[in-house]
Chain A
């Protein structure tokens, strides 16, 4: 089976959020819903020396959508079987007609991917722009990235293209769901589970 996934280079990402807005625009999401979210993770501290200040600060952005996990928890908890992992490409897709909006998937997903659509009264989530890729394109977030920091494709190919992927904070332990998200990070990135920093924009993600 082919498995599709995302790649993000956090060293190139400037946190511009074009990915987030282009997705919102294409999927016409209301305020409060974001299939793609950009985490701002930062930490460190300041020390005063007389009138001067010495800093040890780090900060970076991580753009995350649905990671179309190899072992997705959302499909496991979805009683009406509205969420299914496709056999042909590994994308986790929602069948809206079956969704009862019980929110179990939203509670289970450690990435916050399934979200409640207030207008439709249904859960909604990233579908990897399945109709765009069927036409030979890329997901809109990838194509709109101003810094070319995002990529999408077969995860095995991505791993060859971008070796030495990392699992970084504030993302959860990858062993939970085996996300198909490959991360290349800058020198300031912290490993997952890091407690030295915190998400700086909790309202936005």
Chain B
């Protein structure tokens, strides 16, 4: 923490760009000049192009309830007539879009429910790292495993830190092929009579012909598809799936029989499996194992989507409503700068409008390193951003000189959470652990840094809406006001504000008995129908069939009414493997949160950035551990050290995500950002980031790692 507060990359004062966009050349200016410039640019954009030309870039850097969550910016922009909004997130867009077609929502069971299961089958889901704090989900998983009666099957291309002997069995799988494994398991479940037929008949649509919706073609049901009676005439046998997934046939058969005969069985997935070009299919396929075996809505089961969090429902700074109703996918913003008015509803996922009327001309970037680092294809994004005729104004507010700040026209210094008043709750990944924290300044703001809310108040003044914006409250007064609002719900547990402030942190027990996903539906489907058109689980989705007919998709992309395995571009079956034979994924490490904390030398020392490569692949390339290598494809080249390890499957390499993009004079990213290699081509349905679907080659640069 202190290393970050006092890092060499802290932004001390407001600055304006003096070089070319992306060069990172700035000049110090006063707060007044900076805010006058921002207000004038914003006004000009709104006057000239309309509010739809203003976009607040995706950012998840901080979760305080006033300054965080970009709440202060949203409130201001909404009061000024709104901005082009976005749906989805870089984390979970594919599952968030696809699974509701099956379940009418994203139902989930708490991780604690695993303690009641006899078998856990997890597709990805590296909780020890991605939810690695002492509280919350990884702790809940560790404790569930301690029951001793649970068998755990972990399916992952990497032997992750969540396993390390805690699992009963690790099943390595080629990235992007999880749906093929699911289908072969389904084949065994069906042919060996292990499906829960009464459950499928009563609760589901489209398992077999009996429950296919009206208008669905013949043999378009799931059973026919699995058995090879549908249009593709391919039975999804273990032999078929073995070739695709790289999992030996006997292992597939054995897993299938375990799933078919063990109850309760908790099926779950992480978010990595869905961050693919076919992520919507995969995220919808995995729940099929819960559905086919009736393992949902009961103790020790899960709907197969992912683990649940309980939430306080805490009150944040009211952001108002956005008068601009047009939405794009969170991932389309660079396209909306580049191709603007070419983006349409049926081709690009524009919502609430047939097409965009204006490109993005004003970009507000705060609590976000998405501008260049965490978005895909950094080199292509650099070109789009560098052209200041396209996006005419970029405002960046941050407390560290991230790679994204290099693209700012005006750069404003933000404080860290140690330099301000605020309020925060447990965020979104703490499992059943809920709490509230009083954020209080323990040190003075660094140099001229200011909290976002105060900055927005001063911008509001320039538009003559300061009173309306602040409602006369300082941040601390908002903190008290919002705390008391949340307190109304938990009067018996939350003390008065003064006591809370003194204590600093209070734990809250929320309603934890709702920990089993789809319990109400399972208990009484008539009284508690799902929010699907049929009220049932839609294995066959007529809505997806309709979308598939109406939308225009690029060649190779498909949307299907059933969840099914699709071999995509840059999968291991793409002919491009001749040139780029290795599949590349990214993984989270314990050394930073996304790209935050990357600039802390202590953390780089204990968790160095290295590309994981199997000895089988390393030997072919004459690479030994510690060698400096280039990982490259058509989009770029990353330079980093090799970690030659058996903990990754042959044919797959993985780069720890979040390292800061740093192209050298030859265009080689010596910073080690995985997104130098990822693609901007969106996934078919959610129009989302396929950041684990990549083909690359690796070559040794030198054995001398400097």
Which A residues are closer than 8 A to B by beta carbons?
11-17, 20-21, 24-25, 31-32, 34, 38, 42-46, 48-55, 57-61, 145-148, 186-189, 200-204
Contact = CB atoms under 8 A, between A and B. Distances in A.
A52 B590 contact: no
Interface string B614-653: 1110000000011000000000000000010111011000
Interface residues of B, dominant DSSP: loop
Given A14-B138, A25-B602, A53-B246, 5 more contacts: A14-B590, A24-B602, A52-B243, A57-B647, A189-B165
Given A11-B165, A14-B164, A147-B134, A52 B606 contact: no
A5 to B, nearest CB: 23
A53 B649 contact: yes
Contact of B164 (A24, A32, A188, A204): A188
Contacts of A17: 590-591, 606-607
B170 A186 contact: no
Given A17-B590, A31-B605, A57-B170, A203 B626 contact: yes
Interface in B1-38: 2
A46 B646 contact: yes
Contacts of B247: 52
Q: Which 7 A-B pairs have the closest CB atoms?
A: A188-B165, A186-B165, A146-B134, A14-B128, A52-B248, A16-B590, A17-B606
B87 to A, nearest CB: 33
A34 B128 CA distance: 23
A62 to B, nearest CB: 11
Contacts of B248: 49, 52-54
Contacts of A46: 614-616, 646, 649-650
Interface in B148-177: 159, 161-166, 170, 172
Given A21-B602, A42-B645, A200-B643, A14 B161 contact: yes
B132 A14 contact: yes
19 contacts: A12-B142, A14-B128, A14-B590, A15-B164, A16-B132, A21-B603, A34-B606, A44-B646, A52-B247, A53-B649, A53-B650, A55-B170, A57-B646, A58-B165, A59-B647, A60-B164, A188-B165, A200-B625, A204-B606
Most buried by B among A21, A45, A186: A21
Contact of A55 (B128, B172, B245, B626): B172
Contacts of B129: 14, 16
A146 B172 contact: no
B139 interface: yes
Contacts of B161: 14-16, 61
B133 interface: yes
A187 B145 CA distance: 14
B230 interface: no
A42 B246 contact: no
A145 B139 CA distance: 12
Interface of B: 2, 128-129, 132-134, 138-139, 142, 159, 161-166, 170, 172, 242-243, 245-249, 251, 590-591, 601-603, 605-608, 614-616, 625-626, 643, 645-647, 649-650
Contact of B646 (A15, A21, A34, A55): A55
Most buried by A among B129, B134, B615: B134
Contacts of A53: 172, 246, 248, 649-650
Contact of A52 (B2, B132, B246): B246
B139 to A, nearest CB: 7
Contacts of B251: 54
B563 to A, nearest CB: 23
Contacts of B172: 53, 55
A14 B247 CA distance: 26
A39 to B, nearest CB: 12
A57 to B, nearest CB: 5
A61 B590 CA distance: 14
Contacts of A148: 134
B650 A186 contact: no
Contact of B601 (A20, A31, A187, A202): A31
B647 A42 contact: yes
Contacts of A48: 650
A57 B646 CA distance: 7
A112 B616 CA distance: 32
B547 to A, nearest CB: 34
Given A31-B605, A52-B249, A187 B165 contact: yes
B520 to A, nearest CB: 34
Contact of B165 (A24, A49, A60, A201): A60
Contact of B243 (A25, A51, A186): A51
Nearest to B243: A51
A123 to B, nearest CB: 19
Contacts of A14: 128-129, 132, 138, 161-162, 164, 590
Nearest to A55: B172
A16 B162 CA distance: 11
Contacts of B626: 202-203
